[in-house]
Structure 1
């Protein structure tokens, strides 16, 4: 860990959800962490489909915590990688992006569909505050048994409650309660998940109706 006071101050700001810029001089430790994470992710993305042992070794080195039975389809993209905590039996389909400037906590049996983005970081709205890349960060927590649909985006500071489903293409800008289905941009609760959902059968999609002239 660095002793440079400039980097120590930026790390404090990151943890405190304050504004910071991570590309200024004196922040070589942070830059090295990012580069190392990207090197490991690049190595992971070049592994063969049958190289399960090699893939797990790379993920164990990349992430802060790696549970058992984790499967991630390449390509995987990270900001750092070493701020990600994965529980047991996590499955991620192609194109998972983890912007982990601060911690991302993922529970057990979480499923990510293709091209999901989980971001702990955003920027101020006013351009005067972000001309030098100034940003803020807040941890994301995804609890057990969550299913995140294709192309969904989870924003900084969000908690998704256990068992919930995030609809494809959703932009999650508010906390999600346990055991609900949410969808939309911004995502809203569509309905609760109940015991009736234990009775499953395929339902063909509806036909979109032409709007009134």
Structure 2
């Protein structure tokens, strides 16, 4: 079994061989180039995204954006990643369509053994975020977590276990607070009501 195969299979690994340091160095060069783009160089930003992820990516990512390899990240169409997000992608991070990230979200696929005698080693478990999720600012998503479709993760949460679909989950450790329900179809924030007239008024301003 190669070191890359050990990573893919969740075994203990180190990342100093098999071209892994060179892959990370190339990724850093692309990351620096991407983070240097501005509002007048959006075409270059889009081109770099396709190079970073190794596939056509129709998402919006606000620089700065940080990652280890880039090629282990898949981002679905229509997703939005706000500034200062950190994706530690030693193995797969799969993000569905129309997923929203607040600023400074961390996704970590890597952990270390608890005992200091083995702390130099790592293990990696993939992270999956399904379609239409909203990940609040400053949240941390830990190795091996899946977040079900449509769910909301409250700002500052630390997600250590899977979160089911159609729920609002908050806290450290993150726990399900409630299910998304009909009340959420009527109110968008506290007692502020969603009305068709207001939506139409907003649409006229576009």
Structure 1 match to 2:186: 199
Unpaired runs of 5+ residues, structure 1, are: 1-7, 205-213
Structure 1 moving runs of 4+ over 3 Å:
64-67
The correspondence for 1:177, drawn from 151, 154, 164, is: 164
Answer whether contact 1:155 1:171 (CA < 8 A) is retained: yes
Report whether the alignment pairs 1:39 with 2:26: no
Q: Distance in 1 between matches of 2:188 and 2:138?
A: 25
The correspondence for 1:56, drawn from 34, 46, 55, is: 46
How far off is 1:185 after superposition? Answer: 0.6
* Count of residues paired in the alignment: 191
How far off is 1:28 after superposition? Answer: 4.9
CA deviations 1:163-203 (Å, max 9, x no partner) are 00000000000001001011111100000001221112433
Query: What is the 5 A alignment of 1:40-119?
Result: 40-68=30-58, 70-119=59-108
Normalising by structure 2, we get a TM-score of: 0.89
Normalising by structure 1, we get a TM-score of: 0.86
CA deviations 1:6-65 (Å, max 9, x no partner) are xx6211110110111112xxx151111111111111100001222111000001000144
Q: Distance in 2 between matches of 1:154 and 1:109?
A: 18
Q: Distance in 1 between matches of 2:2 and 2:73?
A: 22
Does the residue aligned with 1:67 lie in a helix, a strand or coil? coil
Report whether the alignment pairs 1:186 with 2:173: yes
Closer/same/farther in 2, CA of residues 66 and 86 from structure 1, 3 Å limit:
farther
Q: Distance in 1 between matches of 2:76 and 2:93?
A: 11
